[in-house]
Amino acid sequence: MSSETKNTEYAFFEGDFVPIDNAKISIKTHALQYGTGVFEGIRAYWNEEHQDLYVFRMKEHFQRMKNSIKIMRIDCKYSTEELCSIVLKLLQMTKPKTDTYVRPLAYKASLRVGPGLQDNPSELCIFTTPFGAYFKVDEGLRVMVSSWRRVDDNAIPPRAKVSGSYANTALAKTDAICAGFDDAIVLDQTGHVSEGSAMNLFMVQDGHLVTSPGHGNILEGITRRTIMEFAKNEFGIETEIRTIDRSELYTAEEVFFCGTGAEIAPVLEIDKRTVGEGKTGEITRKIFDMYAQVTRGEIERYNHWVTPVFAESGKSSGKKLAVK
Ligand SMILES: Cc1ncc(COP(=O)(O)O)c(C=O)c1O
């Protein structure tokens, strides 16, 4: 184990910074029993040369979390800026010198039995953990189209990142792994391509990008948005947002997954059919390389997307919060 991972881990829990082992909830907690929490997954990237950790698009993650909170009738007393300050303080306390995942969760905390969201207090917790690659991207991914359909906007809205809806993700992912694949692509209720199990999907067709729309029951990803922006600005590659048929995946020039966890992951085989030439395509490679640099704060014109953790020590703004 590296020396970095031995640092004391802290969590933000019920309004205080506490050692992670003191952040405990009752087994009666509503969110545990009914999945009534909303969460985010944020990455912070260690830059060895800069000796700093960069949190990627933190504000955008908390803006999305605020929308999830609204949909699920959760109360959150913290502003987006205060939530960002809490994360910075947590990372400054833990001092990781390695790539790190940040997991905020806002949840219903009632201890009563019954699924209602009303008259049900809300709480917030945030923890951080060292986090490397989610996929072996060098090998590319071999995936299947899942027989599980994506949850629908009229069931559990996928544009909200609701804990309970990840039972859907878990079924699709687990069945794919158990069948010998790396991951799954899920279709929406109309049979069109939605996304990967826990990441968005792009395909390359006639040299441009194509991705499913918000009404395809995707989580509208921050990585997806990031890619569309720099693909256009840096490489002049446009993105078409439209409904995708399953069979288009088989004839695409390139396919890749993207997400905070997944980062950029080339998909080389779908349902035992080779995608393109069966190796990482030229456009996927360009996007992969660019994303790796942007997230580590290496490209100045995109540095408004990253928040340095240690350069910010001492000048972290927002509400003063006690350490217990
Ligand atoms: C279901 C689902 N879709 C897409 C994404 C990608 O979203 P983002 O790029 O904001 O991480 C995620 C990851 O959070 C996810 O869980």
pLDDT in tens, 60-112: 999 999 999 999 999 999 999 999 999 999 999 999 999 999 999 999 999 99
Question: Which atom of ligand 1 is nearest to 226's Cα?
Answer: 9
Q: Cα separation of 315 and 321, whole Å?
A: 14
Q: Cα separation of 227 and 230, whole Å?
A: 5
For the chain, the straight-line distance linking the first and the last C-alpha, in angstroms and rounded, comes to 27
- Alpha carbons within 13 angstroms on the beta-carbon side of residue 52 total 17
Domain assignment present for residue 312? The answer is no
Question: Which atom of ligand 1 is nearest to 225's Cα?
Answer: 9
For 256-286, the DSSP string reads EEEETTTEEEEEEEETTEE-TTSS--HHHHH
pLDDT in tens, 248-257: 999 999 999 9
User: Do 211 and 296 fall within a single domain?
Assistant: yes
Alpha helix (H) residue ranges in the chain? 30-34, 58-71, 80-94, 166-178, 222-235, 246-251, 282-295
Residue with the smallest CA separation from ligand 1 atom 1 is: 198
For the beta carbon of residue 272, count every other beta carbon within 10 angstroms: 9
Across residues 260-287, what is the average pLDDT? 98
User: Do 280 and 200 fall within a single domain?
Assistant: yes
Report the relative pairing of strands 141-149 and 208-211 from DSSP bridges.
Answer: unpaired
For residue 241, pLDDT over 60 is answered with: yes
Confidence at residue 6, expressed as pLDDT on a 0 to 100 scale: 62
Total number of domains constituting the chain: 2
Residue with the smallest CA separation from ligand 1 atom 8 is: 221
* Active site amino acids: 161
Of the three residues 73, 97, 132, the one that is the final residue of a domain is 132
User: Do 63 and 162 fall within a single domain?
Assistant: no
Contact 147, 175 (CB under 8 A): yes
Domain assignment present for residue 310? The answer is no
Amino acid letter at 262?
A: A
Confidence at residue 63, expressed as pLDDT on a 0 to 100 scale: 98
Residues 6+ apart with CB under 8 A from 72: 36, 38, 108, 117, 160, 162
pLDDT in tens, 201-214: 999 999 999 999 99
User: Do 191 and 246 fall within a single domain?
Assistant: yes
Q: Cα separation of 182 and 149, whole Å?
A: 18
Name the residue range of residue 153's domain: 137-301
Confidence at residue 312, expressed as pLDDT on a 0 to 100 scale: 61
User: Do 147 and 282 fall within a single domain?
Assistant: yes
Domain assignment present for residue 323? The answer is no
Ligand 1, residues at Cβ distance < 6 Å: 41, 169, 195, 198-200, 219, 221-224, 259-261
pLDDT in tens, 120-149: 999 999 999 999 889 988 889 999 999 999
Confidence at residue 136, expressed as pLDDT on a 0 to 100 scale: 86
